[in-house]
């Protein structure tokens, strides 16, 4: 039996012990409560906006209209009192056919809300007639048409953009119902929609119910909504919540081993630390995947055809890297933190960051190409029945796989007594990882830089998400500075480790040699990433910042120069001046990038 | 009790975890502003300055006398008229126009359903903008057709109200997002965090076996745990206060801020006492945290169900939509709940077998 399997079995046994009958009963009770409350909540408007506006009126016939909306609190007063509604603290008054608003912001927004309530009430009344041709005479069908992307920001069109302009012009017509026939010259003018409108009210209700989970394509004008994909966030919650819970158990279990040196026995056993880590991870991974599979089946219903099965598998394939990243980071923070408190904060912090990375781009699924950086977008698309091409899958998941892999590798390398059971500072534990890596036979700053590429890449994508809504010149400016900083840190951290831990002597020759190695490594990795995955966003301005420079030599020179700056600062001032070294290199890097991108900025 | 609280406070500061907690909240806040900006741009396109709306051109496939076409022109939508779909598609592909509308064949006087086909550019933010622009015209068109057709319905009288607008413009979506979602979430986040924090405070002592050491000191279990709980509760209003300050700096005015802080503190006590009971009862961090999270979701979901749930109460107070009697009644109810849980906590600790 392989070593990791033994550990996995232990782990399962142990967690069984932890859940005694008492806690299992409590968990089941609270789960039932949660499900009941969520069900009850989903029957309401799912908003805590009860009674936020007060409206005064004198005609009782308005009352049923107002009562359809929980936002309104009302007071039935006589006609004179209604005219002085503001004295009673009301936001507006309905007198006759006129609605008078107060002069506050709240009153203005109450007026806006009331307008919608009237509209909705009208829909309710009209729907009660079973005569769709007269009550809902107009139907809107929305079709999505593909065309070459054109980012407003990108002043510079590079080769990749040119490539996408060679887009097959007639291919898009496949999506147009009847479009093909029209091109082939059947002379069908004004190819209407082939979609059949729902014939009765029940079908209309079914439509409206469906729009919550399915992309709306046909609706009456009043129900016609812009593609704001809030459903995407719902999916993200459904998929992410279980991961968050399980990863908490996972990190607690690791921390358990560390407190009171419980895990020492495992380390003494004739097992590689790799086996221990795998063994401790696999059970949690399997459990999470099982939960995710259940969720997928719940959303998609039981698959009946082969295509459905394929979809289920693809969704699981999209969620796997997310789970791995969550686990990798919980694993690493469980090793780094010195107490449960630290662990809680670290895991909450990381969850917030990763969730942000996952959620916000997914909000723009169906709207913007940027959204495909999040695997959740893939899931949304798969659920909506769209296909996801291989390169999109790679584009959004590869960084997750690579970062998770790197974090696990670093974490495993310090999965040893002196790092697990001593009160070392977090910083020195992190440096330990690099020291371990650099003292391997093939370890060198060259490869260290390459390994960091996905980390930098994800940080930069995260920055895009966060800076996306700053006004344009500032967002690009902030992006340039912050991505330069990220790049400079990872390039120089290896050299810092070597100098600080006295693995190589601090000489001028060494500083230059290591700088060239590290800079070249970063350059190689960066170009590899650009070629592999950056195509989908390369034409946006943000993409340009990341992959800048079609000329190959200039960026190489830049990477080497900036790292030489930081290693020379360390050579003159000693490794403790690392902070200043990075700042100096960042400044230089930023200035370079600004000169290249000045066309975009000014 | 005081000394325990002091010790925990010192620990909290030295471990820098508290600072991390603040950073987390800042993160959430920055995400929220991201959301606010995102939402306003969806619902109020003019708020998004840097997208050029003038540049949106729409191709209409139809004839000059189409009612929908005329409504679009009246609403100042930039339109180009085509008599066939194919040339419109060609222009769409070459980015001369950004959407195509195929007007329906029937008329309002007829009896057939009228189908409007809209072709939008896939995965472009313009699609959202265009949908918003078109919605108004489409609704107008629907209304004009309905004016003709609803006369055929027996006993139907349309509701007509003029909403007389004053100078103030506000979209209800934005207003409600700020006061219904953002503000309550921000002020209660510290309370949610404190509930989790107290579990760590307590289970850590058990798992590191330091509880016995603490018990050997003159402090009793009750004192030790109360000290921890008091600290966890007291840091909540401080953080919430900072949030409210930040919001008001962003010109979001908040009424009754003191009463809101009081409610937040009461809810923090409810959460902290509940998780204290859970932690003392189960002593295992994983189990306790899981139960706490489930409880939190349960409470959150339940607050959708009734008016004056803590979140709703904060919303109503902040925009001055509640009478003093009603708000203080509910504050009293939450005070009673907190007191009840405090007594329950004392009982659980006294009954705890670890208590010597």
Q: What is the CATH number of the domain that holds B102?
A: 3.40.1710.10
Q: What is the pLDDT of residue A186?
A: 33
Question: Do both B65 and B96 map to the same domain?
Answer: yes
Question: Do both A213 and A256 map to the same domain?
Answer: no
Q: List % helix, strand, coil for chain B (3-state, nearest 5).
A: 65, 5, 25
Q: What is the pLDDT of residue A388?
A: 78
What is the C-alpha separation between A328 and A223, in angstroms, rounded?
44
User: Which of A124, A221, A421 has the highest number of chain B CBs within 10 A, making it the mutation to test binding with B?
Assistant: A221
Structure tokens at A140: 């809107």
Contacts of A238 in chain B (CB under 8 A): none
By the CB < 8 Å criterion, does A350 face chain B? no
Question: Do both B293 and B178 map to the same domain?
Answer: yes
Going by pLDDT thresholds of 50, 70 and 90, the confidence category of residue A230 is low
Which candidate from A140, A150, A469 shows the least CB-CB separation from B37?
A469
**Residue B137, domain member (yes or no):** yes
Instruction: Quote the ipTM score.
Output: 0.81
**A-contacting residues of B 165-194, CB under 8 Å?**
165-172, 174-176, 179-180, 184, 193
Q: Are A517 and A446 in contact (CB under 8 A)?
A: yes
DSSP H/E element including B117:
strand B114-121
Question: Do both A216 and A291 map to the same domain?
Answer: no
Question: Do both B144 and B217 map to the same domain?
Answer: no
Q: Are A363 and B38 in contact (CB under 8 A)?
A: yes
DSSP state letter for B196:
H
Question: Do both B62 and B82 map to the same domain?
Answer: yes
Q: Between A310 and A345, whose confidence is greater? A: A310
Going by pLDDT thresholds of 50, 70 and 90, the confidence category of residue A192 is very low
Q: What is the mean pLDDT of chain A?
A: 75
Question: Do both A601 and A554 map to the same domain?
Answer: yes
CA nearest to A83, candidates A107, A58, A59, A106? A58
Instruction: Give the other-Cβ count within 10 Å of B311's Cβ.
Output: 23
- Domain range for A310 is 228-438
By the CB < 8 Å criterion, does A165 face chain B? no
Dihedral pair phi/psi, residue B253, rounded to 5°:
-80, 140
**Residue B23, domain member (yes or no):** yes
Question: Do both B20 and B82 map to the same domain?
Answer: no
Question: Do both B142 and B191 map to the same domain?
Answer: no
Which candidate from A48, A97, A179 shows the least CB-CB separation from B304?
A48
Mean pLDDT of B259-273: 96
User: How large a percentage of chain B has pLDDT more than 70?
Assistant: 82
Strand order in the sheet with A138-145: A218-219, A138-145, B114-121, B99-102, B57-61, B78-82
Strand order in the sheet with A92-95: A72-76, A53-57, A92-95, A98-101, B162-164
Q: Quick one: three-class SS letters along B135-195?
A: HHHHHHHHHHHHHHHHHHCCCCCCCCCEEECCCCCCCHHHHHHHHHHHHHHHHHHHHHHHH
Q: Are A527 and A553 in contact (CB under 8 A)?
A: no
Question: Do both B25 and B56 map to the same domain?
Answer: no
Task: Say which range, A185-189, A315-319, A375-379, has the weakest mean pLDDT.
Answer: A185-189
Record: contact B49-A471, CB cut-off 8 A: yes
**Residue A191, domain member (yes or no):** no
Record: contact B284-A23, CB cut-off 8 A: yes
Burial, B173: exposed, middle or buried (Cβ in 10 Å; 0-12, 13-18, 19+)? Answer: middle
- Single residue among B152, B187, B222 that ends a domain in this structure: B152
By the CB < 8 Å criterion, does B122 face chain A? yes
Question: Do both B13 and B125 map to the same domain?
Answer: no
Mean pLDDT of A294-305: 80
Instruction: Please report where in the chains the tokens 């009210």 appear, as a residue.
Output: A201
Q: Are A26 and A33 in contact (CB under 8 A)?
A: no
By the CB < 8 Å criterion, does B95 face chain A? yes
Question: Do both B147 and B217 map to the same domain?
Answer: no
What is the C-alpha separation between A179 and A187, in angstroms, rounded?
11
User: Which of B69, B123, B127 has the highest number of chain A CBs within 10 A, making it the mutation to test binding with A?
Assistant: B123
- Domain range for B307 is 2-39+171-351
pLDDT tens, A528-558? 776 665 555 555 545 555 555 445 677 788 8
Instruction: Determine the straight-line distance between the first and last CA of chain A, rounded to whole angstroms.
Output: 65
Q: Are B195 and A68 in contact (CB under 8 A)?
A: no
Question: What is the number of domains present in chain B?
Answer: 2
Contacts of B301 in chain A (CB under 8 A): 34, 37-38, 40-41
Question: Do both B145 and B67 map to the same domain?
Answer: yes
Q: Taking phi first (over 0 means left), then psi (-120 to 50 degrees means alpha), and beta for anything else, what does residue A187 get?
A: left
Q: How many CA atoms lie within 13 A of A296 on its CB side?
A: 25
């Amino acid at each position: 039996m392989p070593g990791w399997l033994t550990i996995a079995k232990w782990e399962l046994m142990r967690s069984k012990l932890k859940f005694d009958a008492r806690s299992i009963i409590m968990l089941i009770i609270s789960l039932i409560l949660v499900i009941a409350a969520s069900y009850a909540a989903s029957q309401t408007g799912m908003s805590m906006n009860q009674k936020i506006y007060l409206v005064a009126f004198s005609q009782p016939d308005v009352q049923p209209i107002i009562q359809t909306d929980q936002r309104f609190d009302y007071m039935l007063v006589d006609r004179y009192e209604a005219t002085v509604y503001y004295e009673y603290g009301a936001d507006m008054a309905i007198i006759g056919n006129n609605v008078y608003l107060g002069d506050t912001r709240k009153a203005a927004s109450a007026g806006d809300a009331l307008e919608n309530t009237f509209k909705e009430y009208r829909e309710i009344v009209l729907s009660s007639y079973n005569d769709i041709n007269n009550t809902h005479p107009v139907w809107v069908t929305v079709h999505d048409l593909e065309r070459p992307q054109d980012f407003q920001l990108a002043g510079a069109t590079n080769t990749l953009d040119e490539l996408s302009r060679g887009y097959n012009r007639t291919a898009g017509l496949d999506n147009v119902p009847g479009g093909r026939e029209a091109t082939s010259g059947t002379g069908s003018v004004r190819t209407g929609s082939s979609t059949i409108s729902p014939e009765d009210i029940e079908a209309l209700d079914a439509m409206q119910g469906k729009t919550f989970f399915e992309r709306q394509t046909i609706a009456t004008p009043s129900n016609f909504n812009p593609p704001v994909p809030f459903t995407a966030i719902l999916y993200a919650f459904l998929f992410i919540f279980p991961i968050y819970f399980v990863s908490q158990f996972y990190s607690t279990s690791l921390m358990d081993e560390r407190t009171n040196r419980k895990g020492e026995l495992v380390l003494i056993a004739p097992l590689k630390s790799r086996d221990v880590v795998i063994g401790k991870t696999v059970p949690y991974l399997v459990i999470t995947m099982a939960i995710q599979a259940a969720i997928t089946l719940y959303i998609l219903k039981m698959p009946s055809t082969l295509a459905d099965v394929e979809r289920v598998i693809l969704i699981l394939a999209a969620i796997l890297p997310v789970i791995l990243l969550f686990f990798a980071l919980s694993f690493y923070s469980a090793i780094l933190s010195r107490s449960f408190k630290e662990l809680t904060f670290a895991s909450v912090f990381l969850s917030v960051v990763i969730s942000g990375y996952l959620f916000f781009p997914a909000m723009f699924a169906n709207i913007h190409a940027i959204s495909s950086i999040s695997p959740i977008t893939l899931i949304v698309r798969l659920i909506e029945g769209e296909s996801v091409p291989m390169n999109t899958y790679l584009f959004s998941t590869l960084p997750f796989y690579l970062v998770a892999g790197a974090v696990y590798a670093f974490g495993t390398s310090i999965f040893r007594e002196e790092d697990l059971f001593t009160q070392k500072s977090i910083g020195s534990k992190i440096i330990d990882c690099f020291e371990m890596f650099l003292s391997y036979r093939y370890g060198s700053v060259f490869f260290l830089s390459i390994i960091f590429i996905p980390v930098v890449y994800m940080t930069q994508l995260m920055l895009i998400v966060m800076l996306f809504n700053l006004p344009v010149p500032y967002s690009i400016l902030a992006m340039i500075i912050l991505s330069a900083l990220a790049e400079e840190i990872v390039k120089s951290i290896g050299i810092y480790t070597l100098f600080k831990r006295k693995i190589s002597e601090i000489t001028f020759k060494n500083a230059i040699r290591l700088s060239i190695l590290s800079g070249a490594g970063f350059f190689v990795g960066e170009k590899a990433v650009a070629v592999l995955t950056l195509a989908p966003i390369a034409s946006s301005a943000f993409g340009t910042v990341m992959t800048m420079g079609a000329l190959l030599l200039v960026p190489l020179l830049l990477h080497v120069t900036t790292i030489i700056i930081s290693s020379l600062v360390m050579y003159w001032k000693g490794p403790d001046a690392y902070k200043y070294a990075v700042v100096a290199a960042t400044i230089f890097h930023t200035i370079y990038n600004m000169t290249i991108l000045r066309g975009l900025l000014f | 009790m005081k000394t325990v609280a002091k010790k925990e406070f010192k620990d909290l500061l030295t471990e820098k975890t508290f600072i991390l907690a603040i950073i987390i909240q800042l993160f959430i806040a920055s995400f929220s502003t991201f959301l606010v900006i995102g939402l306003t741009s969806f619902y109020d396109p003019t708020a998004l300055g840097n997208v050029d709306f003038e540049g949106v051109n729409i191709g209409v496939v139809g004839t000059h006398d189409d009612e929908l076409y005329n409504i679009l022109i009246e609403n100042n939508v930039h339109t180009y008229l085509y008599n066939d779909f194919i040339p419109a598609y060609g222009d769409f592909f070459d980015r001369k126009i950004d959407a195509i509308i195929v007007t329906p064949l029937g008329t309002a006087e007829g009896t057939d359903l009228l189908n409007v086909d809209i072709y939008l550019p896939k995965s472009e933010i313009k699609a959202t903008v265009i949908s918003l622009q078109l919605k108004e015209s489409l609704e107008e068109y629907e209304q004009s057709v309905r004016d003709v057709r609803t006369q055929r319905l027996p006993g139907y009288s349309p509701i007509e109200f003029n909403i007389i607008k004053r100078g103030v413009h506000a979209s209800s979506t934005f207003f409600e997002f700020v006061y219904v979602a953002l503000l309550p979430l921000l002020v209660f986040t510290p309370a949610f965090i404190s509930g989790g924090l107290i579990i760590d405070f307590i289970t850590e002592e058990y798992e590191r076996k330091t509880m016995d050491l603490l018990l050997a000191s003159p402090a009793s279990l009750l004192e030790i745990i109360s000290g921890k709980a008091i600290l966890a509760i007291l840091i909540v209003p401080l953080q919430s206060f900072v949030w409210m300050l930040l919001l008001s700096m962003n010109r979001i005015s908040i009424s009754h801020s003191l009463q809101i802080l009081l409610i937040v503190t009461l809810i923090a006590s409810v959460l902290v006492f509940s998780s204290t009971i859970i932690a003392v009862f189960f002593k295992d961090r994983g189990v306790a945290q899981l139960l706490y999270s489930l409880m939190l979701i349960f409470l959150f979901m339940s607050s959708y169900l009734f008016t004056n749930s803590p979140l709703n109460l904060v919303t109503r107070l902040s925009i001055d939509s509640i009478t003093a009697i009603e708000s203080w009644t509910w504050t009293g109810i939450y005070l009673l709940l907190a007191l009840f849980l405090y007594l329950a906590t004392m009982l659980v600790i006294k009954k705890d077998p670890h208590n010597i």
